[in-house]
Structure 1
Amino acid sequence: MKRLVIKVGTAVLTQDGELAYERMQNLVKLIATLKNEKNIDVILVSSGAVGAGYTSLKLDKSVLANKQTLAAIGQPKLMKTYQEMFEEFGITVAQMLFIADDFDSRKRSKNAKNVMEILLKNKVLPIINENDVISTEELIGDNDQLAAYVTHYFKADMLSILTDIDGYYNKNPREFNDAKILKVVNEISEEELNKKPTANSKFATGGIVTKLKAADFLMQKNIPMYLTSGFDLKNAYEFLVDNIHISGTIFKK
């Protein structure tokens, strides 16, 4: 694997109304290992701007304008935290913000691809988020979809989503004790894709449905997606660093 997109969700990056610094540091160490030891080009798609903004200003996130305001406040705070953490590993970071129209515009997508290649060639870590201030929920709508687009358009070999569950189960593990994790998924039913998205975090916009849609989008393009926990990165290290699939779910044709 030469190029990997890692998407990390708000539930992982925030806790009790604050940034989850220890989990962020663990994520940074994982990415540093992939870049510095495995020589993998990593692109990070990071949620958490709205949650980070809420730590400074308590606005009702259900109002779109408030959500966009929180993102505007939280984005530089999130980036500053990443910048300081990655500097300890000698890694320079760069910020890239997108809306769905950027991927539909030939000129804008070409410009983005040119910048991306320069960043990766120079070992810089691109950190991507949706441009919440000018986007609307009718556009990309969540960072799982954004991460899938990024994986495809920037020609990555795989997308790995780090979230608040350790994989995709045959039934909801929060409701059923006998739920079993599916290590490999080759097909996703229309019924699963059409379920209403739910999110556990107050600041999350996705849920398992948006992750399934991201996986389905990539599977149609023969690009695999790996889903595992961002709370405990043991599975992520085993699969992404050591190439051993013990747990977590891989979606592939």
Structure 2
Amino acid sequence: MKRVVIKVGSHVLSDKDKISEERVGNLCSFLAKLMQKYEVILVSSGAISAGGHKVNIKKDSVVNRQILASVGQAYLMEIYSDIMVKYDISVAQILLTARDFDSRKATAHAKNLVDGLCKNKILPIINENDATAIEEIVFGDNDSLSANVAYYFNGDMLVILSDIDGYYDDNPNTNKNAKIRPLVPSLKKEELELKADAGSEFGTGGIVTKLKAANFLLNNNKSMFLTSGFDLKDAYSFLLDGKKIGGTLFKR
């Protein structure tokens, strides 16, 4: 495994109405260690929630979401840059939409950029361009984006750091005996049709978007690892020590 795509969601990065700099700090420490072993691409949500920390605007209309995303994206990159520089790592911002994967030329240009950044040990930080992509604000999610990034930019694995620590055999919120499925080689149609449920005020997805991302990668002979973004011990163990303890691995 050479290139890893790490996706982190808004719920992990956000603490109520602001970005949790402690969690971002823990994430950056993890990324710095990963970059000693792999080429790393980060797909980061959080622009809209970061904007909510900077301006007092409610997330109750498309225009307001655009404003929050526009303000918040710069602030989010500032946070990442200020922390990663402590590890002597530069970061680069790439804003994409689904349209960037509809054109072979656009996809190739984006991949060339990512390849160049990775070659120079600069961390690419990718987010959806929520400030202008209206459809993506309403319907989009970074789980789908990260799966496309892993596929089109030659990632060997997608790792989703989430507010859930794996894919359970039942709803853990209602069934205390629910257990994490450690390995999932395929997904059934009914699993992909579960009702989407946002994980936080600023989230746009849920378990179903993660399962759809996993299914897309499984169908393209790639793998995905779903684990906690609050406690990174399972991510450390799996990616840096080669020991899978928790989380769910989607792999044929």
The superposition leaves residues 108-159 of structure 1 with CA deviations (integer Å, 9 ceiling, x where unpaired) of: 1111111111111101100000000111336870000000000000001000
- Residue type at the aligned position of 1:191: E
1:217 equivalenced with 2:228 (yes/no): no
Distance 1:76 1:197, change over 3 A: same
1:29 equivalenced with 2:29 (yes/no): yes
107-116 vs 136-145, which deviates more?
136-145
1:128 equivalenced with 2:126 (yes/no): yes
Aligned twin of 2:107: 109
Instruction: Work out which of the residue numbers 78, 83, 95 in structure 1 matches 2:93.
Output: 95
Name the SS for the 2:87 alignment partner: coil
CA distance in 2, matches of 1:14, 1:145: 20
CA distance in 2, matches of 1:72, 1:48: 11
Query: Where in structure 2 are the equivalents of 1:70-81 lying within 5 Å?
Result: 70-81=68-79
Which structure 2 segments of 5+ residues have no match? Answer: none
Query: Where in structure 2 are the equivalents of 1:129-148 lying within 5 Å?
Result: 129-137=127-135, 141-148=140-147
Give the number of aligned pairs: 251
1:17 equivalenced with 2:17 (yes/no): yes
- Residue type at the aligned position of 2:197: T
Aligned twin of 1:243: 242
Question: Would the aligned equivalents of 2:130 and 2:136 in 1 still touch at CA under 8 Å?
Answer: no
Aligned twin of 1:231: 230
CA distance in 2, matches of 1:88, 1:213: 36
- Residue type at the aligned position of 2:35: K
Instruction: Work out which of the residue numbers 50, 53, 58 in structure 1 matches 2:51.
Output: 53
CA distance in 2, matches of 1:200, 1:126: 25
Q: What TM-score, normalized to structure 2?
A: 0.97
Aligned twin of 1:150: 149
CA distance in 2, matches of 1:7, 1:19: 16
Name the SS for the 2:29 alignment partner: helix
Name the SS for the 1:169 alignment partner: coil
Name the SS for the 1:102 alignment partner: helix
CA distance in 1, matches of 2:242, 2:10: 26
Name the SS for the 1:244 alignment partner: coil
CA distance in 2, matches of 1:161, 1:143: 10
Q: What TM-score, normalized to structure 1?
A: 0.97
121-130 vs 193-202, which deviates more?
193-202
The superposition leaves residues 80-114 of structure 1 with CA deviations (integer Å, 9 ceiling, x where unpaired) of: 00001000001110000001011111221111111
Percent identity among equivalent residues?
53
CA distance in 2, matches of 1:209, 1:128: 21
CA distance in 2, matches of 1:224, 1:180: 21
Question: Would the aligned equivalents of 2:182 and 2:247 in 1 still touch at CA under 8 Å?
Answer: yes
CA distance in 2, matches of 1:108, 1:11: 30
Question: Would the aligned equivalents of 2:128 and 2:136 in 1 still touch at CA under 8 Å?
Answer: no
CA distance in 2, matches of 1:148, 1:196: 20
* Shift in Å, 1:230: 0.3
